Amino acid sequence: MSPVKVVICGAAGGIGQPLSLLLKQSDLIAHLALLGVVTASGIAADLSHINTKCKVTGHGKDQIDEALQGAHTVVIPAGVPRKPGMTRDDLFKLNAGIVRDLAEGIAKNCPKAFVLVISNPVNSTVPIVCQVLKSHGVFNPSKVFGISTLDVVRASSFVSEVNPAIDPSTRVTVVGGHSGVTIVPLLSQLPNNFVDSLSRDQLDALTHRIQYGGDEVVKAKKGAGSATLSMAYAGARFTLGLLQATVAGKTGVVESAYVHLDADKENTAAFKAKTGLDYFALDVEFGREGVSRILKLPKVSRYEQALLDAAIPELKTNIAKGAAFITDSVAHWPEARL
Ligand SMILES: NC(=O)c1ccc[n+]([C@@H]2O[C@H](COP(=O)([O-])OP(=O)(O)OC[C@H]3O[C@@H](n4cnc5c(N)ncnc54)[C@H](O)[C@@H]3O)[C@@H](O)[C@H]2O)c1
């Protein structure tokens, strides 16, 4: 096992800083390259004093090539977070271009890297990354992930608050996408008939809290941003899980991720034919090459089917918006690709 280079794009931000701190502690990372807009050298200098083996370097936007070269994994929490009253989709105009430019840098400098997208709206930014990589002929669906882990982390916390007998580490399956109605918690999967112990009002309230948990943080921070610390925890859990599989060869590591369904055509063909979706968040088992298996959508309750029915059209709109952002710009300005 040889430790690898991991790049954090947007490392000076609210998520980027604590995420970098958490990753600095991993033996699986030899080099943490921190990319900021002007520079992330202050954050890098600070972290470099922590006595772990991982080397830390800081880079500005004009040093994107050197930051990305040789990267095994690139994590993207770059962009603008929500303010009160904004949906994740409202961020599209601001973040789509940032994510596109970073994906261009990845295609050029580290086309084989695993790409982990945190920047919102994830439902659209992941298709943006995939389209850019496709346009360069380097797209591998097994290597691009939208991090929806925070929805799972929140679901586990909220379920445990409703029923303290359920340990907060209990995994809740959350599928769909990463915004509002596209977040579909499958509470019927929880053991001991948890879902049957809830009244309809309680089930509605819990489901709504999982779907809109991010709003609680946006409101509480009063305009100073969205979830950063819980997101850094979720992002680190996802990144380290992926490294455990891809670098250390650990098997059986499963996380929910918003992925291109071609990453496992066999297990997703029927779902894709039924829904017409190319992207969806499902439980994913990691392997050496990224996605080793996408777990099939389990049997859902009638209540959950109604949630899925509401999620699918919204997801289709979000996906089309992301893909069109790249295909339209290529069609209108072909010289930009030269
Ligand atoms: N996936 C999730 O569950 C989840 C959860 C919370 C937040 N988010 C999203 O993560 C993103 C970051 O949130 P935050 O709170 O850290 O925001 P932030 O504003 O605190 O930090 C973002 C950082 O990105 C930097 N940046 C912008 N463009 C860049 C570029 N081209 N290259 C490198 N760095 C660049 C900014 O300068 C800033 O330092 C937002 O889009 C937010 O909506 C996602």
Is the shortest distance between the CB of 35 and ligand 1 below 6 Å? yes
Instruction: Round to whole Å and give the CA distance between 173 and 171.
Output: 6
**Nearest atom within ligand 1 for CA of residue 98:** 31
| pLDDT of amino acid 338 | 32
Residue 315 lies in a domain: no
DSSP of 121-185, one letter per residue?
A: -HHHHHHHHHHHHHHTT---GGGEEE--HHHHHHHHHHHHHH-TTS-TT----EEE-SSGGGEEE
Q: Which pLDDT does position 88 carry in this prediction?
A: 80
Task: Tell me, yes or no, whether 208 lies in a domain.
Answer: no
Range of the domain at 33: 4-147
Q: Determine the atom of ligand 1 nearest the C-alpha atom of 228.
A: 15
At 222, which amino acid appears?
A: K
DSSP calls for 205-251: HHHHHHHTHHHHHHHHTTTS-S--HHHHHHHHHHHHHHHHHHTT---
H/E stretch holding 254 reads: strand 254-260
* Closest protein CA for atom 9 of ligand 1: 119
- Binding residues, as ranges, are 10-16, 82, 88, 95, 118-120, 154, 231
189 in a structural domain: no
Annotated binding site for NAD(+): 10-16, 95, 118-120, 231
In a domain, 100, yes or no: yes
Parts of the chain with a pLDDT under 70: 330-338
Residue 328, token pair as written in the block: 């339209």
Is residue 262, in this structure, part of any structural domain at all? no
Does residue 264 lie in a domain region? no
Closest-CA residue, ligand 1 atom 4, reads: 118
Q: How many domains does the chain have?
A: 1
CA 269 to ligand 1 centroid distance, Å: 34
pTM of this structure: 0.96
Residue 89 lies in a domain: yes
Is the CB–ligand 1 distance for residue 12 below 6 Å?
A: yes
Backbone dihedral region of 117: left (phi > 0), alpha (psi from -120 to 50 degrees) or beta? beta
The answer to the question of residue 131 being in a domain is yes
Contact 186, 202 (CB under 8 A): no
| Residues labelled catalytic | 178
Asked if residue 56 has its Cβ within 6 Å of ligand 1, the reply is no
The per-residue pLDDT for 93 is 86
For residue 34, give the CATH number of its domain.
Answer: 3.40.50.720
Q: Which residue has the tokens 């001991």?
A: 192
Strand (E) or helix (H) holding 58: strand 55-59
Q: How far is the CA of 226 from the centre of ligand 1 (A)?
A: 10
Residues contributing to the annotated binding site for substrate: 82, 88, 120, 154
- Return the pLDDT at 331: 56
Return the pLDDT at 332.
52
Atom 37 of ligand 1 has which residue's CA nearest to it? 37
φ and ψ of 303, to 5 deg:
-60, -45
Q: What is the pLDDT of residue 330?
A: 61
What are the Cα distances from residue 127, in Å, to 26, 118, 187, 252, 319?
A: 29, 13, 28, 27, 6
Ligand 1 pocket, residue 235 CB under 6 Å? no
Ligand 1 atom nearest the C-alpha of 15 is 16
**Given this model, what pLDDT does residue 337 score?**
40
